[in-house]
Amino acid sequence: MSDGVNGTTNCFNNVENLLVFKSIVTSHLLKKAQHIQSVNQTVFEQFYELAVNSPRINPFVA
């Protein structure tokens, strides 16, 4: 009987460890995604500024 209890306890501990690991990975991926989104926004803004201020692209620029 003791083996069954230990096996169940180990199973629950493994599940708990996996949930903690999942939480850490999810948090890490969310931070990476936010960083990528920030970089994309910055790059977009820089290209937009270049386009708006470029006489070759925007004929209304003197």
**pLDDT tens-digit series, residues 7-61:** 788 998 999 999 999 999 999 999 999 999 999 999 999 999 998 999 888 888 7
User: CA-to-CA distance for 37 and 47, rounded, in angstroms?
Assistant: 15
3-state DSSP call for residue 1? coil
How far is the CA of 61 from the CAs of 18, 23, 55, in angstroms? 58, 51, 5
Q: What is the DSSP string of 16-60?
A: HHHHHHHHHHHHHHHHHHHHHHHHHHHHHHHHHHHHHT-TTT-TT
Q: Where are the domains of the chain?
A: 9-52
Q: Is the full-model pTM beyond 0.75?
A: no
